[in-house]
Structure 1
Amino acid sequence: MHQKEHISDKIDLEILSLMQENSRISNADIARVLNMAPSAVLERVKKLEQKNIILQYTTRLNPLALNQNLLAYVYVKASNGIGISNTAIELAKIAEVQEVHQIAGDDCFIVKIRTTDSASLLDLLRNTMSKIPDIVITKTTLVLETIKEQQQLVIHQ
């Protein structure tokens, strides 16, 4: 996915923690919290971006507000098995697919899908996923309720 970088600097970890909590926080506000010059914070943030430690700045949307009421996980078994796979690439191209993970076990991939309802999920399975040639079988799990869902990582300082 991305090159492996590690951070051991406590100040960088504090900056990442503040930015992960609020990606819109200004360099001036970070500098104020950490008792640093804003120019020093800006330099550190740019280095974190260049090292691919900060990958992206995003806005988290409420899926229900966009009529994406159904969350499902689809386990996919592919004939081409584990390794670099066109199956994974094709799965990742589907707009409703939010995540594709290669997994250990009987299946090859687990895919996170958000869609409007069960009919649209069925349509996606029948008319899109079924056209990916190496897929042998899928098993779908519907989410009834989400207790916790987050993108934030635990930052140990």
Structure 2
Amino acid sequence: MYLNGLDKLDQKIIQLLVSNARMSYSDIGEKIGISRVAVKARIQTLENKGIIEEYTTIINPQKISGAVSCYFEIETKPDYFKEVIDILDKNDIVTQIYRVTGRDKLHVHAVA
């Protein structure tokens, strides 16, 4: 598993945060058998080392407006590659644009 470089307590803390990033230090400490202060110190160390980079909220657009999230690929001629990226970048429904291996190929995420 990708957590092998961490001790057992840090692994448990990360697993709990992955399942619920809003879990309190007290609740984490209760589940793994250490104090709230020790949990806070360990999480701060993990953040300072860059192991934990951010906490995020994931919005499900279908629950709000019935929108659909989709991924698609676009392959362009080399002369139009930059122009296609510029057009996609200006479009509000496009959330991410990735350049992938292959000749002038893009992988795009949109919510519409």
Provide the TM-score with structure 2 as the length reference. 0.71
Q: Which residue type is aligned with residue 62 of structure 2?
A: L
> Matches of 2:92 and 2:105 in 1, distance apart?
20
Partner of 2:63: 65
Q: Give yes or no for the alignment of 1:47 onto 2:45.
A: yes
> Matches of 2:50 and 2:88 in 1, distance apart?
25
Corresponding residue SS for 1:25: coil
Q: Which residue type is aligned with residue 72 of structure 2?
A: V
Corresponding residue SS for 2:109: strand
Judged with a 3 Å threshold, the aligned counterparts in structure 2 of structure 1 residues 8 and 65 are, in CA distance, closer, same or farther, namely same
Partner of 2:32: 34
- Structure 1 residues 82-101: aligned runs within 5 Å: 95-101=92-98
Q: What's the Cα RMSD here?
A: 3.1
Q: Could you tell me how far 1:22 is from its partner in structure 2?
A: 0.6
Provide the TM-score with structure 1 as the length reference. 0.53
- Structure with more relative contact order (C-alpha pairs < 8 Å, separation 6 or more): 1
**Which is richer in helix?**
2
The percentage of aligned residue pairs carrying the same residue is 28
- Which structure 2 residue ranges, 5 or more long, are not aligned? none
> Matches of 2:86 and 2:4 in 1, distance apart?
30
Judged with a 3 Å threshold, the aligned counterparts in structure 2 of structure 1 residues 100 and 26 are, in CA distance, closer, same or farther, namely same
How many corresponding residue pairs? 106
